[in-house]
Structure 1
Amino acid sequence: MREREEVKSLKAIVLAAGDGTRFKPFTDHNPKPLLPLLGLTLIERILLAAKKAGIRDFVVVLGYKGERVRDFLGDGRRYGIRIEYVENRDWHRGNGTSLLAAESAVKDEEHFVVMMADHVFEPDLLRKALALQPRGRDSVLCVDRDLSGIADLQDATKVHTEGGFIVQIDKRLKHFDAVDTGFFIFSHEIFDALRAADTGHALTLTAGVKRLAERRLIRVVDVTGFFWIDVDRPELLGVAESRLLKTLSKSTDGVVSRWLNRPISTRLTRFLVRTPLSPDTVTAISFMIAVASGILFAVGHLVWAGLLAQFASVIDGVDGEIARLKFRETRLGAFVDSLLDRYGDSAIVLGMSTWAYLSTGNAWTLLLGMAVLAGAPMSMLAKEKFRAITGRDYPIEQAEGWLRYIPDSRDARLFIIMLGGLFGAVIPALVLLAVLTHGKTVWRMYRLAGLLDAPAV
């Protein structure tokens, strides 16, 4: 197995034929792949995550109430993918028969991906597998070695590995070092292995994988640390929902975002993601709340103005969360969101400056507002400009040193504005914002001067 120089897009088989008896009464009338999870069905979530990982061609194997899945998904065009369907009349015998039913659909493929319609995952998990190319007859199984993080370890398929190969696989293994995640890249050897394992009764995919393991034909890709979950029981839907919401936190979140905004925004998102509300609509709502905050500041309703400023900060996270959960992220959306954030901030600062001037009659309060308007975008601008010039991520430790613990990002600025409104300290809040934003800008220039002045290699 070698890392791909250029990742080739493989065809993916999605096994979606089972009857999901544990999910009755829902599955009395609907197939399990159509179970809803945070605004999408299970199978939509699987297909869109795989699409984000780089897969465009899918074979969906149908069985129990399969026509409902076909009618729901169509040919895949509305998702930007291509879907062909295979019917497995023997679906009641197990998922091994479903993969055998799809053999002709991948006859021209050297290798192909296989995944389950009820295994929710993050795209980076599949990207890691796709970046490694099995050779010849070899196949690949993604495994998770963090046994403490498995949602249902007792029911999970366990594996024992040696030297990068699967040597044993079974739900009843007593000695194991990883768990089967349900994501494979197979060669056509799997079909012969399944036929050899077929006794005419139950036939699981694991039975075929065992045959490959005996011949050292299935290698390991360690995906420990990546999000995935097998939604195999009704209570695991709630676990999947909670874990998906936890994935919405970003490494770039500021202190206020991490500890205040994100816990609130994800609760709002949990509800709003089930509605037709689009991320762009939420972006517009956040902007209008910021404008309303500015107006309230200008007319002297400081407490409500401060609270609205903080609420705008919270809602500003919801649009991105909905976009990520529904796979509706776009470059245009991110671009417009960034611009409206700047306009919203300007409206708030203008409102604060207006109130300060009307309250004191001193023109210097207007100059103070101008200083805040000039300094507010500098945190984002410095990071984006560094990335554009160097092609590298912004080195926060090198650029800011100990001052990185003093936040000046948008979430922190709006939190300061809220406090200014709540305590009637609008002018002190403006002074603090001006000093903070310009002070850190000068500090960044000083710290990065040597690095940016060095000749390009």
Structure 2
Amino acid sequence: MVFYLMNENPSSPQTEPQIQTAVLLLPAKSDCYWQNLAEVPFLLRNTLTLQRAGIKKLMIWSENTDAFQQKLKQDPRMNLDVEWIVDNAIGLHDTHVMVLDGSTLLEKAEIVEAMTPSTQYQTDGFHFFPEVLKEKNLIKVIPPRESSRLINKEDFRVAEERLLKSVGLSNDSLMDRLITRFISRQLTRVLLKTSLTPNQITFLSLLIGLGSAWCFYQGTFFSGITGALLLLVSAWVDCTDGEIARLKFMETSWGARFDIYCDNIVHFSVFFSIGMGLFFATGNSLYILYGGLAVFGSLVAFMILSGSIMKKKQAAGQGKTSETNLTDQLANRDFIYFLLVMACIERLDIFILLTAVGSNIFAIYLMYKRNRWTQ
């Protein structure tokens, strides 16, 4: 899918700077370039993908430039320096340039890999390739993948399904992969069509989570089951905000922080409310203590982990993988499924006791690890 335009005497690949300029070739059939793909126009999606991969300057070669220029300029997500090529006038000079087929759906990982120059040459697969570019010193060619070419409605439908399946995080837990992401993707299909922003969806998740806490606070069997179910819904909606942010290129560091804070507010509220609900149901004040300890241990763990959680979440959203350690396994939210089971068998007392003990042991473990690192 990618061509490289380079000077006559390239130096060793180890010393080459990364390619930061791209030429996007748009074949003559232009009616599909502004067709929505997961609610982002096809051409804009490819352009934002190049931007996300690290491209700084983009030259677009199309026979119908007027149709797209203003639309791209007006989009607030666009930070690229965009130049439209007219009358074969292309000034590449000695700049390393990547040339891509704009009729195919581009992928960030492929672009990042292609930003390092190499020495292969192959020109098959392009439906449109100007003669003037053939005169340049093309030293590497990666032909377009036909499976990624979007021409008709069926191509767009298949591509959107692939995008929806790709929006999970690389550090998702076991239950996230088995259950949570499957359900959240169905919600994402619906919410994509709305004007709701990711942060608004995060706030909706917070409200549902607080509704869950209120149910647990009532201290009855049926309110406990309702609370556990609402907590599951809150988690599914919470996954949806990130999926929509990645699909619509709306990720922000503030949004990531807001999401993490809302998650923990919900968890703290649920733990406190379970303790209070059990106290109201039994009159045993120990449950207030258990609820308080669960909140305290979780809060200490969050204060220690918040920075690393933020970094890992942002890296995972960019497709970067990191080794899953014991801390990651203990800090995930798979406990919500265990909580539903405990609510159904009317043993929330076991859950809150385990959480009170486990969260504080986890907090002590984190403090121990932190002290070892600072020594």
Give the TM-score, by structure 1 length: 0.67
1:79 counterpart letter in structure 2: M
Per the alignment, residue 188 of structure 2 pairs with 269
Matched, 1:118 2:117: no
Matched, 1:303 2:231: no
Per the alignment, residue 260 of structure 1 pairs with 179
SS at match of 1:34: coil
Q: 1:78 to 1:61 in 2, by over 3 A?
A: same
CA contact (8 A) 2:294 2:359 kept: yes
SS at match of 1:219: strand
Q: 1:75 to 1:320 in 2, by over 3 A?
A: closer
Q: 1:380 to 1:125 in 2, by over 3 A?
A: farther
Q: Deviations over 1:42-71 (max 9, x none)?
A: 01101111111222433323325x533234
Structure label with greater radius of gyration: 1
Q: 1:272 to 1:358 in 2, by over 3 A?
A: same
C-alpha distance in 2, partners of 1:331/1:207? Answer: 44
1:127 counterpart letter in structure 2: V
2:81 counterpart letter in structure 1: R
C-alpha distance in 1, partners of 2:342/2:27? Answer: 58
SS at match of 2:148: strand
1:361 counterpart letter in structure 2: G
CA contact (8 A) 1:309 1:414 kept: yes
Matched, 1:73 2:83: no
Per the alignment, residue 149 of structure 2 pairs with 230
Please point out which of 213, 237, 252 is paired with 1:294. Answer: 213
Please point out which of 236, 247, 250 is paired with 1:325. Answer: 247
1:251 counterpart letter in structure 2: S
Per the alignment, residue 38 of structure 2 pairs with 38
CA contact (8 A) 1:13 1:59 kept: yes
2:236 counterpart letter in structure 1: V
2:248 counterpart letter in structure 1: K
Per the alignment, residue 19 of structure 1 pairs with 29
Q: Deviations over 1:169-191 (max 9, x none)?
A: 545xxxxxxxxxx7xxxxxxxxx
Offset of 1:343 from its aligned partner? Answer: 1.1
Matched, 1:165 2:165: no
Per the alignment, residue 250 of structure 1 pairs with 169
2:47 counterpart letter in structure 1: L
Q: Deviations over 1:16-40 (max 9, x none)?
A: 34226xxxxxxxxxx2101111010
Q: 1:8 to 1:445 in 2, by over 3 A?
A: same
Name stretches of at least 5 consecutive residues in structure 2 with no aligned partner: 1-11, 316-320
Matched, 1:9 2:14: no
2:55 counterpart letter in structure 1: I
> How many matched pairs?
352
C-alpha distance in 2, partners of 1:278/1:387? Answer: 22
CA contact (8 A) 1:37 1:237 kept: yes
SS at match of 1:83: strand
Per the alignment, residue 429 of structure 1 pairs with 351
- Greater RCO, 1 or 2 (C-alpha within 8 Å, sep 6+): 2
Offset of 1:350 from its aligned partner? Answer: 2.1
C-alpha distance in 2, partners of 1:358/1:314? Answer: 29
Offset of 1:115 from its aligned partner? Answer: 2.1
SS at match of 1:13: strand
C-alpha distance in 1, partners of 2:278/2:142? Answer: 61
CA contact (8 A) 1:408 1:436 kept: no
C-alpha distance in 2, partners of 1:358/1:118? Answer: 63
Matched, 1:218 2:168: no
Please point out which of 195, 198, 202 is paired with 1:279. Answer: 198
CA contact (8 A) 1:42 1:117 kept: no
C-alpha distance in 1, partners of 2:301/2:334? Answer: 11
CA contact (8 A) 1:76 1:83 kept: no
C-alpha distance in 1, partners of 2:123/2:17? Answer: 31
Offset of 1:339 from its aligned partner? Answer: 1.1
C-alpha distance in 1, partners of 2:370/2:133? Answer: 57
1:84 counterpart letter in structure 2: E
Per the alignment, residue 186 of structure 1 pairs with none
Please point out which of 116, 128, 132 is paired with 2:113. Answer: 128
Offset of 1:165 from its aligned partner? Answer: 2.1
C-alpha distance in 1, partners of 2:162/2:195? Answer: 22
SS at match of 1:119: coil
SS at match of 2:195: coil
Offset of 1:123 from its aligned partner? Answer: 2.2
Offset of 1:6 from its aligned partner? Answer: 5.5
**Could you say what the CA RMSD is over the residues aligned between the two structures, in angstroms?**
3.6
C-alpha distance in 2, partners of 1:361/1:82? Answer: 67
Identity %: 22
C-alpha distance in 2, partners of 1:325/1:414? Answer: 26
C-alpha distance in 2, partners of 1:286/1:72? Answer: 33
Q: 1:235 to 1:85 in 2, by over 3 A?
A: same
SS at match of 1:60: strand
Structure number having the greater strand percentage:
1
SS at match of 2:330: coil
Give the TM-score, by structure 2 length: 0.80
Please list, as runs of the form range in 1=range in 2, the aligned pairs for 1:394-413 lying within 5 A after superposition. Answer: 396-397=324-325, 399=326, 407-413=329-335
